[in-house]
Amino acid sequence: MIDEVELDRWQYTRTLTSNDLTRVLRHNPQQSEFAGWSLVELNGEVPNIETQWSFLQKYIDSGQYKSQSQLTRLVQPNSLNLLQNNEKKSVYSFTPNMPNFIDQQGFDGKLWFDIQHQYVTRLRISAKEPVMSASGLKFSAFELEMKFDQVKGFVVPQEIATRLTAQLNGVNAFSQNNIQKYSDFRLINPPPTLAEMLTD
């Protein structure tokens, strides 16, 4: 199984750490406002209602609430190359699919596959050299790393880390070190069974 579960069916916690700022968000699919999201902690403190609403409005409008961990969007299956194999795991290199960058060949990809439980446990994409985005940003550093786990037989994200440094016209535009951690998974809306899908 190369892709993870539909997260909108789950209740879970997402902890976002960016430089010196840490936010703890909780998703509940039974909550209608803000696509099920609530901001429960900001740098170790409970935010007031104005801060919560202001952040969540920007969070939803920007699309950041959506899972960015769909493996099938990042991995070109026909490029998978076996590097290491034993009874417990396989390690592959691959060519990443990076449509927002001009040079698709400027990246290396590597993934780890749990043979016993049949899922990708870890994936890493990094730039081999400075790469240019379609928007004109030059990334002197780019690394994306994802870790996955299994909960009740479903593959769920465990951690997503990005480390980026970009310039625009030779001037530093931004440098980011972001980590998303996922925890406290509880399945609220189970996916339909095969029998249910056949009878629909």
Cα 93 to Cα 110: distance, rounded to the nearest angstrom: 4
Quick check: is 198 in a domain? no
List Cα–Cα distances, 87 to 54, 91, 116, 131, in angstroms.
Answer: 50, 12, 8, 37
Quick check: is 190 in a domain? no
Cα 4 to Cα 153: distance, rounded to the nearest angstrom: 11
The last residue of a domain, from among 39, 66, 93: 66
Quick check: is 55 in a domain? yes
Examine the pLDDT at 64 and tell me if it is beyond 90.
no
Give residue 134's Cα distance to chain centre: 21
Quick check: is 71 in a domain? no
When the pLDDT of each residue in the chain is averaged and rounded to a whole number, the result is 87
| 172 plus 81 within the same structural domain | yes
Report the pLDDT value the prediction gives residue 67, as an integer from 0 to 100: 58
Q: Rounded mean pLDDT of 157-181?
A: 90
| 29 plus 101 within the same structural domain | no
| 166 plus 97 within the same structural domain | yes
Range of the domain at 30: 9-66
Quick check: is 193 in a domain? no
| 102 plus 156 within the same structural domain | yes
Q: Rounded mean pLDDT of 174-189?
A: 92
Structural domains counted in the chain: 2
| 52 plus 15 within the same structural domain | yes
Quick check: is 93 in a domain? yes
| 96 plus 154 within the same structural domain | yes
Q: Rounded mean pLDDT of 40-56?
A: 93
| 168 plus 141 within the same structural domain | yes
| 24 plus 55 within the same structural domain | yes
Quick check: is 195 in a domain? no
pLDDT in tens, 31-44: 888 889 999 999 99
Where does the pLDDT of residue 90 fall: very low under 50, low under 70, confident under 90, or very high at 90 and above? very high
pLDDT in tens, 109-155: 999 999 999 999 999 999 999 999 988 899 999 999 999 999 988 88
Quick check: is 192 in a domain? no
Residue 160: count of CB within 10 angstroms of its CB: 21
- pLDDT: is 4 or 28 the higher one? 28
Q: Which tokens belong to 177?
A: 């070190």
| 50 plus 131 within the same structural domain | no
| 104 plus 55 within the same structural domain | no
- 11 with 17: CB under 8 angstroms? no
Report the pLDDT value the prediction gives residue 1, as an integer from 0 to 100: 39
- 133 with 139: CB under 8 angstroms? yes
